[in-house]
Amino acid sequence: MAVTKRLSRVAFGAGLALALIAAGGIGRAEQATPGNDEMNVEEQPGFQPTPEQEQLSGPWEKQVVFFRTNEAPGTVVIVTADRFLYLVQGNSRAIRYGIGVGREGFQWSGLQRISRKQEWPDWRPPPEMIERQPYLPRFMAGGPGNPLGARALYLGATVYRIHGTNQPDTIGHAVSSGCFRLVNADVIDFYDRVPVGTKVIIKQAQSL
């Protein structure tokens, strides 16, 4: 009888775990498998992806998910290991966006606030990027084809931003020099939801 009860509890626990996964409810965002590889790509100023190329699918597509946190609604949580940005909604829910993050040596964590917002930002490649790709322009006006994409949200007094991209295939990968990139449709949606002063938490992994 004791063995039967233990087996029943195990079966119940397994069933509950499967139900939570199906509902998006277990810690690391539906158990999605992020692109943990470092993507060795070069910036492509002037390239304009097609609408089809910018349409994400699977875990990288914008969606409302279960998200356990004590942070207030409106807080932004970026989990670099998972390649996700969460906009907390309350009631254990968040809007989740797939993102590209910094390459090895360029990932960081901390607490910041959105200090400024810009539509169609100009692009000035940082010196370390120029060193790797000396052919890049030193300045590019904002607009379609700009590597910063349609919107940029600046993080405190740092050089880092949450911004768009003209390379949608980099979402889900470690690719940047420390900024966080979204496809343009997602960064426009995010930009419209988040005011200046918003709290942004950047961390390596999501606590379970």
**Is 207 or 17 the better-scoring residue by pLDDT?**
207
- What number of other Cβ atoms are within 10 A of residue 174's Cβ? 23
Residue 129: phi and psi, rounded to 5, are: -75, -40
**Closest listed residue to residue 178, CA positions, set 154, 149, 208:** 154
Per-residue confidence (pLDDT) for residue 43, from 0 to 100: 79
| Helical (H) or strand (E) element with 201 | strand 199-203
For residue 47, pLDDT beyond 50? yes
User: Token pair 């200046």 is at which residue?
Assistant: 196
Amino acid sitting at position 98: G
Read off the pLDDT band of 27 (50, 70, 90).
Answer: very low
**Closest listed residue to residue 196, CA positions, set 165, 151, 166:** 151
Q: Work out the burial of residue 3: count CB atoms within 10 Å of its CB; fewer than 13 is exposed, 13-18 middle, 19 or more buried.
A: exposed
**DSSP assignment of 33-64:** ----SB------TT----HHHH---GGGS-EE
Token reading at 168: 């949608």
Read off the pLDDT band of 105 (50, 70, 90).
Answer: confident
Distance of alpha carbon 139 from alpha carbon 44, whole angstroms: 13
Read off the pLDDT band of 9 (50, 70, 90).
Answer: very low
Q: Are 27 and 67 in contact (CB under 8 A)?
A: no
- The pLDDT tens digits for 56-92 are 999 999 999 999 999 999 999 999 999 999 999 999 9
Q: Are 46 and 148 in contact (CB under 8 A)?
A: no
Read off the pLDDT band of 39 (50, 70, 90).
Answer: low
Per-residue confidence (pLDDT) for residue 197, from 0 to 100: 98
Return the CATH number of 44-203, one of 2.40.440.10, 1.20.1050.10, 3.40.50.280, 2.60.40.10: 2.40.440.10
pTM score: 0.79
